[in-house]
Amino acid sequence: MYLVTLNAYECSGCAACYSICSHKAITMEENEEGFLVPIRHADKCVNCGLCEKICPVEHPVYQNTSEPQVYAAYDRQERKRSSSGGLFYTIAKYVIEQNGVVFGAAYDKNLQVHHIGVENLQDLEKLRGSKYVQSFIDETFHEAKAFLKAGRLVYFSGTPCQIAGLKAYLLRDYENLITTDLVCHGVPNNRFFNSHLCYLSNKYGSSIETYSFRDTHYWVTRENIKLENGKEISQYDGNQSPYLYAFGQGYATRYSCFTCKFAHIPRQGDITLADYWGVGRFHPEMDDRFGVSLVLINSAKGQEIWNKINSRIVYKASSLKACTTYNPNIVRPTKEPEARKEFFLKLSQWGYDKVASTILSCPSNMRHKNIERIMYLRSKGLFQPLDLLKLWVKKLLSVTHLHSAFYKLYSQIRNPQK
């Protein structure tokens, strides 16, 4: 166990041990790479062993079904401001309508990512959108437990290890708790993200007011930055931002993510949410490129909430085989890149700016230019007809059963190693 071995592969930073210690003998502190890890303080510890007993990495629990129902889904209205199909918001809105409380990840005033609880639709906006940074759990496990004990409906959303951590901390099931785990590629940390914000701030000569990892107009991972001097920057695609490049390649990912015990079916949440990458191959009629969520229903509670909200959304039944084809992190962890150790060494020696202009400088300029062109056409209102044409072609391919062969060919061209 991490508290004994201090082996970096063993601790996901879920904060269950920190939260459960009533003697306040554990603090969460940054390690040399900037990830939060628990530190046990001998002067306060009474050696009760509870923290070790509940650690979900040491003792993973897989309570949910190994045959989840799978759906491709979107909320036509809510996805406009969400990452994929907006399903998180649809569920969260329902919970708030029932006088419930929703927990998820939000930016603080310095754009660091923390879990918070919200009780109204205005604050729920803070939880929208993926933040590709490990969020600080802070005291949210305690807060969620207090609401559960008071009989309020609680919806807790997070990475699979955070959901496993919450359940381990609670020690028992609560009828009024609903959980969602995200499919998780792995996490960089707040320190690394902050270095990126400083880099952007120096580059553009202004502090950053807001930052978003996803483009809500077009279903892609892409930086959108609003500067305090009023300028807006939206030029990096998923490969061209040094941060997103490091995230995608796994260079800045937490060690434990490469051996993640929760990139696994059965999943940890009552419902699992993700992007339905490759939906066009399996359900072309759902793919209009504005964002489609992948939804896995993992438990009876998940089914209950799904029955309550599915009249608000567009959905189509799918299969595990289909959805794992382009989203491997549903069933297995990201592979550790060979250069990861070297990357963190160089980061500490050179600093972020030099690493950004060398190791993290993406060779491909092509994709960036293409996306710029698409965004330009879209801003002039010219891309919509092209989108519709694409949709029409996809439907035609689907009717003639050619879409499968077409997508296979397309994947081989894009990723010849597969």
Ligand X SMILES: Cc1cc2nc3c(=O)[nH]c(=O)nc-3n(C[C@H](O)[C@H](O)[C@H](O)COP(=O)(O)OP(=O)(O)OC[C@H]3O[C@@H](n4cnc5c(N)ncnc54)[C@H](O)[C@@H]3O)c2cc1C
Residues that bind ligand SF4 (CB under 6 A): 2-3, 11-17, 21, 23, 25-26, 38, 40, 45-51, 55, 57, 159-161, 165, 184, 186-187, 254, 256-257, 260, 262-263, 333
Per CB under 6 A, does 187 bind ligand X? Answer: yes
Closest CB to ligand SF4 among residues 18, 74 = 18
Which does residue 309 touch among ligand X, ligand SF4, none (CB within 5 to 8 A, set by kind)? none
Closest CB to ligand SF4 among residues 7, 66 = 7
Closest CB to ligand SF4 among residues 259, 364 = 259
Q: How far apart are CA 155 and CA 138, in angstroms?
A: 17
CA-based max dimension of the chain: 71
Give the residue among 186, 124, 188 at the shortest CA–CA distance from 160: 186
Q: What does the per-residue mask of binding to ligand X show for 102-121, with x meaning CB under 6 A?
A: --xx-------x--------
Amino acid at 129: G
To ligand SF4, the closest distance from the beta carbon of 329 in angstroms equals: 7
Closest CB to ligand X among residues 303, 325 = 325
259 close to 240: Cβ distance less than 8 angstroms: no
From the list 38, 56, 68, 86, which residue makes contact with ligand X (rule: CB under 6 A)? 86
From the list 124, 184, 296, 362, which residue makes contact with ligand X (rule: CB under 6 A)? 184
Give the residue among 268, 388, 289 at the shortest CA–CA distance from 74: 289
226 close to 383: Cβ distance less than 8 angstroms: no
Which does residue 11 touch among ligand SF4, ligand X, none (CB within 5 to 8 A, set by kind)? ligand SF4
Q: What does the per-residue mask of binding to ligand X show for 335-354, with x meaning CB under 6 A?
A: --------------------
To ligand SF4, the closest distance from the beta carbon of 255 in angstroms equals: 9
Per CB under 6 A, does 83 bind ligand X? Answer: yes
Give the residue among 367, 369, 349, 370 at the shortest CA–CA distance from 358: 349
To ligand X, the closest distance from the beta carbon of 46 in angstroms equals: 32
228: left (phi over 0), alpha (psi -120 to 50) or beta: alpha
Give the number of residues in contact with ligand X, rule: CB under 6 A.
33
Hey, what are 299's tokens?
A: 């438990």
Which does residue 273 touch among ligand X, ligand SF4, none (CB within 5 to 8 A, set by kind)? ligand X
Residue 200: φ, ψ to 5°: -65, -40
Which does residue 262 touch among ligand X, ligand SF4, none (CB within 5 to 8 A, set by kind)? ligand SF4
Q: How far apart are CA 44 and CA 131, in angstroms?
A: 35
Give the residue among 171, 177, 175 at the shortest CA–CA distance from 158: 177
Which does residue 279 touch among ligand X, ligand SF4, none (CB within 5 to 8 A, set by kind)? none
Collapsed DSSP state (helix, strand, coil) of residue 214: strand
- Segment contacting ligand X by CB under 6 A, of 38-46, 155-163, 303-311, 342-350: 155-163
Q: Which of residues 235-294 bind ligand X (CB under 6 A)?
A: 273-275, 293
Q: How is 295-354 classified by DSSP, letter by letter?
A: EEE-SHHHHHHHHHHGGGSEEEEE-HHHHHHS-GGGTSPPPPPTTHHHHHHHHHHH-HHH
Give me the residue label for tokens 């030029």. Answer: 235
To ligand SF4, the closest distance from the beta carbon of 28 in angstroms equals: 7
Collapsed DSSP state (helix, strand, coil) of residue 280: helix
Residues at the site binding ligand X, with contacts judged by CB under 6 A: 82-89, 104-105, 113, 127-133, 135, 157-159, 182-185, 187, 273-275, 293, 327, 329
